[in-house]
C-alpha cells in the first residue's frame, strides 16, 4: 500500500470511530442496533467475497456465488429440519458449496466452458431446484444459532455487543479472514495461486499444474460460499425462503472487487456495504423518511453502483491478468 | 563429471506442412557454449523447445547426461537440470523478483514461504555470477535487460547445469549484450553448458566454442570460431554470399514530411520520457535516432504513430497537424509503422497470415467494400507479400502465431511496405532477423527513401543507424542532444553523445 493510501485509511478509521462514539452518546440502543446489523450483513458478504477472491486470484471468475448461497442455504435448512442438528445442517451447507464449486470447476476449468456461462448455470439451477423442492411446511424446530458472549469482552460498551456477542459462524468468518490472508500471501499455495491467475504460462514452465490447481481452488472456494449459505439459513434468518439470497452473491463480488481481492480489504468493504443495509433496515423499521419502503430498500444497491463506478474511475484496481481466460498448454 | 551434458540424436519434428527439424544431431559438453545459427524458420527454436520438453520429437532421441530420456514436459527437463530463457519471458509481472525466482520450488519454514531464505539465495547467486538485481523490485517495473537476469537466475536457482537461451541479445542494448556474454562465459567456468541462439555473427565468433548451422531444418555445417569468418558463416546460413554493407547513393532531400515541435510525452509510469523534442524528416532522407534504449525512443515513436498521448507540443505529417490523432487517421495519411514490439503491436497472433497482411487497410478497397471483406483479394495480396518478402510458411491461411520470430517480422515489413507511403517509422526493423533478410530489408528501406518517402529509423544497433541514416539524431534522457550529418557521424562521436557528453 502506498503511503498516501495508508494515510487516507487512517483518516477514515478515525472518522468512523469519532462518528460512532458521538452517535452512541446521543442514542445508545439505536446506534448499537445499526452497528450490530452492519456486522451481521457483512458476514455473508465476506464469505461470498472470500469465495470469489480465491477463484479470481487463480484466474477463474465466479458469478455463481448467488446460486451457491441459495443452494447451500436450502440444504443447510433441510438437513437441520430433518436431523434437528444445527451442526449437521451447517456441514451440509458447506458440502453443498463444495459440490457447487466442483461443478463450476468441472465446467469452467475441465470442459473450458465460458466462465460467465458456467456461473450463470449455477445461479439458474439453484433458483429453479430450490424453488421446486421447497417445502413450506418444514421448520427448524431447534431454533437458530444464538449469540455467544466472549467473556468480559462482551460487556464493553458498543463494541461488546457489536463484535463480541455474536453467533458462531460470524466468529468463524473472522478467523477465516486471517487464515485466508496468511494462506494467500504467505503460503506456497497462495504464491502459486496468484501466479496462475496472472501468468499461467510462467507457472506452467516451472512445473505448476495450472488446471489442477484451478480445479482445486474453485472447488475449495465453494466451501466458503457454502458456509455463507449455512449462515443465511441457520444464523441470520432461521428458516429458508424462496430466493432468500436476494442478490447478495452479486453484492459479494462488488465487495471483493472494492476490497481489491484481499481478505481484510473485502471485510472493510463488507462492513461498508453492511452498514448501508443496516441503515436501510433502520430507516424502514423506524419510518425515518416518508417514502415508500421499496425505495429505501434500494439503498445498498444504489451505493454499490456508485462505489464500484467511482473506484473504477480512480483506477485503483487491476484484475489478475489471466482472469476469465481458459488456459491451453503449450 | 559426465562428458555429454545434452544431446539430440537424429531429432525430427514435423509441423503441419513444415518439417521443422529433419534428422538433427547436436552435442553439448560441460563448460562449453554451443551457438545455433540459421535463417529465420530454420528450426532453431523448435530444436531447443524439443530439448526442453516443450515439443515432443516425432523421431530421434534426447540424451541428458549420457542417458536417453523421454521428456514429457518442461518440468521433466527442469528436474534434470535444464534451464531455458525463452524468447518471451515467462515471468509474473506484478510479483517480486524473488517470488518469481523461487516460484515452483519455494523454500518453506513452518509451512509458509521463507522469503528471507529465498532472498539470501538470490543475492548469493546474483553476486556470484554478476547478475545484480533488486530481489524486492516488482518484475513489471524492471527493464527487459533486468527481466532477463531474473530468468537466468530462475534457472540457476534450480541448479541448472545446462542453460538454453533463445535469442537473448535480441532485446538488449549493446552494453547489456556485452555484459550478458561475460556472464555466460563466467558460467561456463563452473561447468555449466550453454546453448545459445543468435543472429549476430559477431557474438557467435566472440563467445561460442562450437557452432552449428541449420538450414531448412537440417544441420548444414558444424564449425568453431577459429575456423569461421563472418562472411563464411553468413554464406553457410543463407546458401549464397551476403553483402554485409549497405550500398546507397547520397540522399536528395525534398519537402519536410514529418515535423515535430517541442513534443513532450510521458512514459507508462507518468514520467516525462520525451522532453521537448523538435525534429524534421524530409522526403527522400533517412533520419536515424540513436540512443541507449530507454532514453525516450519508444515514447517518441509511439507518439508519432498515435499509440501514445503527447502531453504537449505538436506533430504534423505532410503539413497536416496530426498531434494525438488516432492510429488509423495517421496511417491514412501515408504513414507506415514497423513497431518495436512485434508481438504486441505488429501482429494478431490468432489471426491468419492473410488477415495480418491487411491489418492496416482491411477496411478499404480493394480489400473490402460496404463493410464486407473480399477473401480472394486479401489472399492474393498476402501471397504476393509472402513471395516478395520471403516469408517462410506453408500457406497464407495458417495462424500468424505459427510463424518463426523472424518471419513474423518479415510479414510486418511486407505489410507496411506494400503501399505507397509518405513516412516510414521503423523501430528496430531488423530485430530477430537473419543476415540475409537484414540485407534485403535494408535495401528496401533505402528503396523507399529513393522513391521519395521520409524515413525515421530507430534502432538499438548503432551499426544499423550508421550504415543507413543520412542524418543521425541522438536522444539522451528524453532530449535531442544533437543531429549530425552522416559524413560526420562517426561511431565515437555518436557514442559520446549517447552517453550525454556534448563537450
Ligand atoms: N507451433 C507451430 N506450429 C506450426 N508451425 C510451426 C510452429 N512453430 C514453428 N513452426 C514452423 O517451423 C519452422 C521452424 O520454426 P522455428 O521457430 O524453429 O524457426 P527459428 O529457426 O527459430 O527462426 P527465427 O530465427 O525466425 O526465430 C518454421 O517454418 C515455422 O513456421
Ligand atoms: Mg526462433
Q: Per-residue pLDDT for A215 more than 90?
A: yes
Examine the pLDDT at A15 and tell me if it is beyond 70. Answer: yes
Ligand 1 neighbours by CB, cut-off 6 Å: B 15-16, 18, 20, 38, 40-46, 392-393, 402-407
Q: Which of B132-136, B142-146, B170-174 is the least confident region?
A: B170-174
Buried b (16+ CB within 10 A) or exposed e, A222-260: bbbbbbbbbbbbbbbebebeeebbeebbbbbbbbbbbbb
Name the residue at shortest CA distance from atom 7 of ligand 1: B402
pLDDT above 90 for B446: yes
Lowest mean pLDDT, pick from A156-170, B274-288, B354-368 = A156-170
Using 50, 70 and 90 to split pLDDT, how confident is the model at A233? very high
Q: Which ligand is nearest to the CA of B88?
A: 2
Please measure the distance between the N-terminal and C-terminal CA atoms of chain B and give it in whole angstroms: 55
pLDDT of residue B145: 84
Per-residue pLDDT at A328 exceeds 90: no
Q: Is residue A217 part of a domain?
A: yes
pLDDT at A207 over 90: no
> Residue A290: is its pLDDT beyond 80?
no
Residue of chain A whose alpha carbon sits nearest to that of B49:
A330
Task: Please identify among residues 295-324 of chain A the ones whose CB lies closer than 8 Å to any CB of chain B.
Answer: 318, 321
Q: Determine the longest span between alpha carbons in chain A, in angstroms.
A: 65
Which residue among B79, B103, B105 sits closest to A195, beta carbon to beta carbon?
Answer: B103
Domain span at A238: 3-19+30-134+144-313
Q: Which atom of ligand 1 lies at the shortest distance from residue B409's CA?
A: 26
Query: Of ligand 1's atoms, which has the minimum distance to the CA of residue B167?
Result: 27
Interface test with B, best of A181, A188, A323 (most B CBs within 10 A): A188
Residue A82 has pLDDT above 80, yes or no: yes
Residue A314 has pLDDT above 60, yes or no: no
Task: Show the DSSP H helices in B269-394 as ranges.
Answer: 297-305, 327-332, 353-356, 375-388
* pLDDT at residue A317 tops 70: no
pLDDT for residue B223 is more than 70 = yes
Q: Is residue A300 part of a domain?
A: yes
* Least confident window among A143-152, B9-18, B49-58: A143-152
Contact B92 A194 (CB under 8 A): yes
Q: Which of A187, A198, A330 sits opposite B93 (nearest CB)?
A: A198
Looking at residue B352, what DSSP letter applies? B
pLDDT at position B17: 87
- The mean pLDDT value of chain A amounts to 88
Choose the closest CB to A191 out of B78, B106, B154: B106
Determine whether the interchain pair A191/B113 forms a contact, defined as Cβ–Cβ distance below 8 Å.
Answer: yes
Q: What is the pLDDT of residues B319-330, one digit of tens each?
A: 999 999 999 999
The pLDDT value given to residue B281: 96
pLDDT value at residue B431: 85
pLDDT of residue B74: 85
- DSSP codes joined into one string, A42-87: HHHHHHHHHHHHHHHHTT-----HHHHHHHHHHHHHHHHHHH--HH
Q: Do A199 and B92 touch (CB under 8 A)?
A: yes
Neighbours of ion ligand 2 (CB under 5 A): B 45, 405
Q: Which residues of A touch B112 (CB under 8 A)?
A: 182, 186-188
CA distances from B78 to A204, B51, B462 (A): 12, 11, 37
Q: Residue A261: left (phi > 0), alpha (psi -120 to 50), or beta?
A: left
Amino acid B265: pLDDT: 95
Q: Which of B8, B11, B13, B20 to mutate to test the pocket of ligand 1 (most atoms within 8 A of CB)?
A: B20
Q: How confident is the model at residue B6 (pLDDT cuts 50, 70, 90)?
A: very high
pLDDT given for residue B272 in this prediction: 92
Helix (H) or strand (E) holding B474: strand B471-476
Domain assignment present for A326: no
Contact B54 A330 (CB under 8 A): yes
**Sequence-distant (≥ 6) Cβ neighbours of residue A126 within 8 angstroms:** A64, A66, A67, A68, A70, A71, A74, A100
Give the separation between CA B181 and CA B403, rounded to whole angstroms: 28
| A-B C-beta contacts closer than 8 Å | 64
- The DSSP code sequence of B171-190 is TS-HHHHHHHHHHHHHHHHT
Are residues B74 and B129 in contact, defined by beta-carbon separation less than 8 angstroms? no
Q: Could you tell me which chain B residue has the CA closest to the CA of A201?
A: B90
At residue B417, the pLDDT reads: 86
Considering chain B, tell me which residue range(s) the CATH 3.40.50.300 domain(s) occupy. Answer: 6-238, 256-334+420-498
Ordered strands of the B423-427 beta sheet: B335-338, B423-427, B454-458, B286-290, B471-476, B479-485
Q: Decide if A188 and B113 are in contact by the 8 Å CB cutoff.
A: yes
Taking the CA atoms of chain B, what radius of gyration do you get in angstroms? 23
Residue A3 above 90 pLDDT? no
Under the banding of pLDDT at 50, 70 and 90, the label for residue A180 is very high
pLDDT of residue A161: 80
**How close does chain B come to A95, measured CA to CA in Å?**
26
- pLDDT of A139 > 90? The answer is no
Q: What does the pLDDT look like over B369-427, one tens digit per residue?
A: 888 999 999 999 999 999 999 899 999 999 998 898 889 999 999 999 877 899 999 99
What string of H, E and C letters represents the secondary structure of A253-277? HHHHHHCCCCHHHHHHHHHHHHHHH
Confidence band (pLDDT; 50, 70, 90) for A31?
confident
pLDDT for A27 equals 77
- A203-to-A58, A61, A213, A259, B67 alpha-carbon distances in Å: 11, 19, 11, 26, 27
Mutate to test the pocket of ligand 1, among B16, B43, B50 (most ligand atoms within 8 A of CB): B43
Instruction: Specify the pLDDT at position A198.
Output: 94
In a domain? residue A291:
yes
The pLDDT score that the predictor gives to residue B263 is 95
Give, using CA atoms, the residue closest to atom 8 of ligand 1.
B402
The stretch A131-136 carries a mean pLDDT of 84
What is the reported pLDDT for A1? Answer: 52
B152 CA to centre of ligand 2 in angstroms: 18
Q: What is the pLDDT of residue A280?
A: 84
> Which of A179, A185, A196, A206 is most worth mutating to test chain B (most B CB atoms within 10 A of its CB)?
A206
* CATH assignment at residue A197: 1.10.3470
**How far A266 CA lies from chain B's nearest CA (Å)?**
20
How far off is chain B from A225, nearest CA to CA, in Å? Answer: 25
Tens-place pLDDT, residues A101-124: 999 999 999 999 999 999 999 999
Task: Give the confidence band of A260 by pLDDT, cuts at 50, 70, 90.
Answer: confident
The pLDDT of residue A279 is above 90: no
Q: Which residues of B touch A197 (CB under 8 A)?
A: none
Question: pLDDT band at residue A19, thresholds of 50, 70 and 90?
Answer: confident
Q: Give the homologous superfamily in CATH for domain B256-334+420-498.
A: P-loop containing nucleotide triphosphate hydrolases (3.40.50.300)
pLDDT of A183 over the 90 cut = yes
Residue A195 touches partner B, C-beta closer than 8 Å:
yes
Return the C-alpha cell found at B365. 478497397
CA of B46 to the centre of ligand 1 (A): 6
> What string of DSSP letters covers A109-131?
IIS---HHHHHHHHHHHHHHHHH
Compute the nearest-CA separation of A90 from chain B (Å).
29
Closest in B95, B108, B112 to A194, CB measured: B95
Q: Considering only CA atoms, which residue is closest to atom 27 of ligand 1?
A: B405
Question: Do residues B194 and B162 make contact, with C-beta atoms less than 8 angstroms apart?
Answer: yes
pLDDT band at A83 (very low <50, low <70, confident <90, very high): very high
Of the residues A1, A199, A318, A329, the best mutation for testing chain B's interface (the one with the most B CB atoms within 10 Å of its CB) is A199
Which ligand sits nearest to residue B38's alpha carbon? 1
Contacts of A187 in chain B (CB under 8 A): 111-113
Q: Is residue A321 part of a domain?
A: no
What are the residues whose beta carbons fall under 8 Å from the beta carbon of A130, sequence distance 6 or more?
A70, A71, A73, A74, A240, A242
b/e string for B106-128 if b means 16 or more Cβ within 10 A? beeeeebbbbeebbebbeebbee
Q: Which fold has domain B6-238?
A: Rossmann fold (3.40.50)
Give the pLDDT of residue A262.
93
State the total domains in chain A. 1
Mean pLDDT over A9-19 rounds to 79
Residue B343 DSSP symbol: I
Q: Is the pLDDT of residue A8 over 60?
A: yes
pLDDT at B250 over 90: no
Distance B184 CA to ligand 1 centre (A): 26
Chain A neighbors of B108, CB-CB under 8 A: 188
Mutation probe of ligand 1 site: the residue of B41, B44, B87, B200 with most atoms within 8 A of C-beta = B41
If you average pLDDT over residues A238-253, what whole number do you get?
A: 91
| CA dihedral sign of residues B74, B75, B77, B78 | positive
Q: Considering only alpha carbons, which residue of chain A is nearest residue B85?
A: A205
Tell me how far CA of residue B488 lies from CA of B23, B210, B249, B420, B460, in angstroms: 51, 39, 17, 31, 20
Chain segment B160-203, per-residue pLDDT in tens = 999 999 999 887 877 788 889 999 999 999 899 999 999 988 89
- Which residue from A minimizes the CA distance to B158? A206
Cis peptide before B366 (omega within 30 of 0): yes
**Residue B243 confidence (pLDDT) above 60:** yes
Ligand 1: distance of its center to the CA of B264 in Å? 40
Instruction: Assess whether pLDDT exceeds 80 at residue A28.
Output: no
Judged against a pLDDT cut of 70, whether residue A330 lies above it is answered with no
| Residue A97 near residue A223 (C-beta atoms within 8 A) | yes
| φ, ψ for residue A57, nearest 5 deg | -60, -30
Average pLDDT of the residues of chain B: 91
Q: What is the pLDDT of residue B470?
A: 95
Query: According to the per-residue pLDDT averaged within each range, which of A147-161, A272-286, A301-315, B282-296 is highest?
Result: B282-296
Amino acid at each position: 500500500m502506498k503511503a498516501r493510501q495508508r494515510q487516507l485509511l487512517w483518516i477514515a478509521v478515525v472518522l468512523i470511530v469519532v462518528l460512532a462514539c458521538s452517535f452512541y452518546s446521543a442514542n445508545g440502543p439505536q446506534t448499537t442496533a445499526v452497528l450490530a446489523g452492519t456486522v451481521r450483513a457483512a458476514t455473508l458478504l465476506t464469505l461470498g467475497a472470500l469465495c470469489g477472491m480465491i477463484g479470481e486470484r487463480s484466474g477463474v471468475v465466479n458469478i455463481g456465488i448467488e446460486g451457491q448461497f441459495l443452494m447451500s442455504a436450502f440444504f443447510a435448512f433441510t438437513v437441520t429440519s430433518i436431523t434437528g442438528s444445527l451442526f449437521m445442517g451447517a456441514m451440509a451447507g458447506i458440502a453443498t458449496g463444495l459440490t457447487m464449486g466442483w461443478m463450476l470447476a468441472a465446467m469452467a476449468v475441465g470442459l473450458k466452458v465460458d466462465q460467465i456461462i458456467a456461473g450463470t448455470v449455477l445461479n439458474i439451477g439453484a433458483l429453479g431446484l430450490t424453488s421446486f423442492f421447497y417445502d413450506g411446511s418444514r421448520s427448524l424446530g431447534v431454533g437458530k444459532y444464538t449469540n455467544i458472549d466472549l467473556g468480559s469482552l462482551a460487556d464493553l460498551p458498543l463494541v461488546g455487543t457489536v463484535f463480541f456477542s455474536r453467533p458462531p459462524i460470524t466468529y468463524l468468518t473472522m478467523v477465516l479472514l486471517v487464515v485466508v490472508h496468511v494462506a494467500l500471501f504467505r503460503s506456497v499455495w497462495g504464491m502459486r495461486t496468484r501466479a496462475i491467475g496472472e501468468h499461467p504460462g510462467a507457472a506452467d514452465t516451472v512445473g505448476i499444474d495450472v488446471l489442477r490447481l484451478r480445479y482445486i481452488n474453485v472447488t475449495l472456494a465453494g466451501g466458503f460460499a457454502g458456509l455463507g449459505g449455512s449462515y443465511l439459513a441457520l444464523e441470520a434468518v432461521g428458516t429458508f425462503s424462496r430466493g432468500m439470497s436476494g442478490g447478495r452473491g452479486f453484492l459479494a463480488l462488488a465487495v471483493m472487487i472494492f476490497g481489491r481481492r484481499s481478505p481484510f480489504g473485502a471485510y472493510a468493504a463488507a462492513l461498508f456495504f453492511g452498514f448501508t443495509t443496516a441503515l436501510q433496515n433502520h430507516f424502514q423499521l423506524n419510518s425515518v423518511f416518508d417514502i415508500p419502503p421499496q425505495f429505501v430498500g434500494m439503498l445498498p444497491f444504489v451505493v454499490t453502483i456508485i462505489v464500484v463506478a467511482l473506484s473504477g474511475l480512480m483506477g485503483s484496481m487491476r484484475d489478475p491478468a489471466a482472469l476469465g481466460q481458459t488456459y491451453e498448454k503449450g | 563429471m559426465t562428458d555429454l551434458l545434452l544431446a539430440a540424436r537424429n531429432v525430427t519434428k514435423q509441423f503441419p506442412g513444415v518439417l521443422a527439424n529433419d534428422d538433427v544431431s547436436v552435442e553439448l559438453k560441460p563448460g562449453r557454449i554451443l551457438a545455433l545459427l540459421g535463417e529465420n524458420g530454420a528450426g532453431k527454436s523448435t530444436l531447443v523447445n524439443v530439448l526442453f520438453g516443450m515439443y515432443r520429437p516425432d523421431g530421434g532421441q534426447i540424451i541428458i547426461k549420457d542417458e536417453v530420456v523421454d521428456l514429457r514436459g518442461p518440468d521433466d527437463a527442469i528436474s534434470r537440470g535444464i534451464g531455458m530463457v525463452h524468447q518471451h519471458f515467462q515471468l509474473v509481472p506484478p510479483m517480486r523478483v524473488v517470488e518469481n525466482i523461487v516460484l515452483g520450488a519455494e523454500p518453506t519454514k513452518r509451512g509458509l514461504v521463507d522469503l528471507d531464505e529465498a532472498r539470501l539465495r538470490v543475492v548469493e547467486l546474483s553476486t556470484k555470477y554478476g547478475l545484480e538485481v533488486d530481489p524486492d523490485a516488482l518484475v513489471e517495473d524492471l527493464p527487459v535487460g533486468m527481466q532477463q537476469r531474473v530468468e537466468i537466475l530462475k534457472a540457476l536457482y534450480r541448479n541448472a547445469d545446462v542453460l538454453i537461451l533463445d535469442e537473448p541479445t535480441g532485446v538488449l542494448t549493446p552494453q547489456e549484450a556485452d555484459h550478458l556474454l561475460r556472464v555466460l562465459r563466467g558460467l561456463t567456468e563452473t561447468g555449466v553448458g550453454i546453448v545459445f541462439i543468435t543472429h549476430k555473427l559477431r557474438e557467435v565468433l566472440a563467445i561460442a566454442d562450437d557452432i552449428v548451422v541449420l538450414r531448412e531444418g537440417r544441420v548444414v555445417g558444424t564449425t568453431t570460431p577459429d575456423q569461421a569468418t563472418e562472411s563464411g558463416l553468413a554464406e553457410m546460413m543463407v546458401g549464397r554470399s551476403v553483402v554485409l554493407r549497405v550500398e546507397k547513393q547520397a540522399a536528395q532531400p525534398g519537402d519536410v514530411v514529418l515535423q515535430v515541435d517541442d513534443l513532450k510525452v510521458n512514459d507508462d509510469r507518468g514520467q516525462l520520457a520525451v522532453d521537448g523534442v523538435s525534429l524534421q524528416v524530409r522526403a527522400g532522407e533517412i533520419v536515424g535516432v540513436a540512443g541507449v534504449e530507454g532514453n525516450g525512443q519508444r515514447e517518441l515513436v509511439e507518439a508519432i504513430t498515435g499509440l501514445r498521448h503527447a502531453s504537449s507540443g505538436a506533430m504534423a505529417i505532410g503539413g497536416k497537424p496530426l498531434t494525438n490523432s488516432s492510429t488509423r487517421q495517421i496511417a491514412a495519411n501515408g504513414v507506415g509503422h514497423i513497431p518495436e514490439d512485434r508481438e504486441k503491436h505488429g501482429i494478431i497472433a490468432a489471426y491468419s497470415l492473410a488477415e495480418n497482411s491487411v491489418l492496416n487497410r482491411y477496411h478499404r478497397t480493394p480489400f473490402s467494400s460496404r463493410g464486407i471483406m473480399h477473401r480472394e483479394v486479401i489472399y492474393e495480396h498476402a501471397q504476393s507479400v509472402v513471395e516478395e518478402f520471403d516469408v517462410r510458411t506453408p500457406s497464407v491461411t495458417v495462424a500468424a502465431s505459427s510463424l518463426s520470430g523472424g518471419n513474423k517480422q518479415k510479414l510486418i515489413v511486407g505489410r507496411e511496405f506494400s503501399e505507397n507511403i509518405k513516412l516510414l517509422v521503423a523501430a528496430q526493423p531488423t530485430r530477430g532477423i537473419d543476415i540475409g533478410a537484414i540485407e534485403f530489408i535494408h535495401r528496401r528501406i533505402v528503396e523507399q527513401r529513393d522513391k521519395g518517402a521520409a524515413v525515421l529509423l530507430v534502432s538499438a544497433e548503432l551499426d544499423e543507424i550508421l550504415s543507413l541514416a543520412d542524418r543521425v539524431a541522438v536522444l539522451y534522457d528524453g532530449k535531442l542532444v544533437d543531429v549530425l550529418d552522416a559524413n560526420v557521424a562517426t561511431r565515437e562521436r555518436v557514442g559520446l553523445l549517447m552517453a550525454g557528453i556534448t563537450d
